[in-house]
Structures are given as structure tokens and as C-alpha cells.
Homo-oligomer: A and B are copies of this chain.
């Protein structure tokens, strides 16, 4: 995601009037709320990325490492990883290449199926996670601590409602 709206850029009175005149039935509140939610989503993701960058990682590659560590033997295949990460095989191809270059994962050819190969988390990759994760978890806890325990469930519930309601875009 990446949303081209600065919260400060919410339109002023004059502009609102202009748009409301040209396009009737504009619900200013809804629009402003919707855009703010998108914007905050972007900002949260950017914060995470900046944090990962301090450890020399970015979101995409970091997540691949985590998916590998989840496996019993730290091993998987490109298509499996693509499926689990929710990205196309083409995208996973690029992510894997970057990780191979950095030596955080290694490639092992499949003797059974010559089209395929396996990807293994290397010692360097595990070390990288062991460096990042103990720094990551407490920060996440602190961040989520900003929302009172009880209201977190409500927050999630409402966001899920919004997401589901997005069917009106189809």
C-alpha cells in the first residue's frame, strides 16, 4: 500500500464546497475517515520498514526468513513461500534472489523434480532473525499498549467489518 494523502492535506472548506457542488451526495465524513485509515495503515507499515532497515532488512525479505524459521527443518520451496506470503511466484523469485545474494538463505536442488529446488535458512539468516526478533517483539508490545486491552478487539472487529464491506468496490 501507499496512500497519497497527508493527514494535514484534508481539504479545506472552500475545496469541500467545490467538490460537493460538482458531485452531489458527497459524504465528507466518510471520505475523510476512509482516507485517514488508509494513510495510517501506510504509516504503520513505513514505521515497521524503517525499523527493519536499521537491521539491514526490509519487510518482504524479513517475512520470508520468518516463514522459513516456522518450518520444522527451516526449508521450503519458492512456490510454497509465495503461497504462504501471499505474493506471486514472480515476486517471490525476486525476494529469494536478494536473500541469496545476502547469504541469508541457500539453494538446494531437488533430486526428485528437476524443475524445483529448496530454500534453506542459513546460519547467517538465523543469526539475522536472532538479532531482529528480540528487538521486534517488545516494541510491538509497546506499540499495541497504546490501545487499551479491551478496545483492541473492537478495533480489529471494526477494521474487519470495513475490509469485508469493501466488496462494494467489486
* Chain A contact residues, CB within 8 Å of chain B: 1-6, 9, 11, 15, 18-19, 22-23, 25-27, 29-31, 33-34, 36-38, 40-48, 50-51, 59-60, 63-64, 69-70, 84-87, 130, 133-134, 137-147, 151-152, 154-156, 158-166, 168-170
Residue of B nearest to A47 (CB): B166
Assess whether B151 is in contact with A154, with CB atoms less than 8 Å apart. Answer: yes
Assess whether B5 is in contact with A140, with CB atoms less than 8 Å apart. Answer: no
Q: Give 4 new A-B contacts, CB below 8 A, not counting A4-B85, A6-B86, A15-B70.
A: A9-B86, A40-B163, A47-B166, A151-B154
CB of A99, distance to nearest CB on chain B (Å)? 13
The secondary structure that dominates the A interface is helix
Most chain B Cβ neighbours within 10 Å, of A27, A156, A168: A168
- Copies of this chain, whole number: 2
Assess whether A162 is in contact with B137, with CB atoms less than 8 Å apart. Answer: no
Residue of B nearest to A132 (CB): B23
Assess whether A137 is in contact with B40, with CB atoms less than 8 Å apart. Answer: no
With A9-B86, A137-B23 already in contact, the answer to whether A45 and B144 are too (CB < 8 A) is no
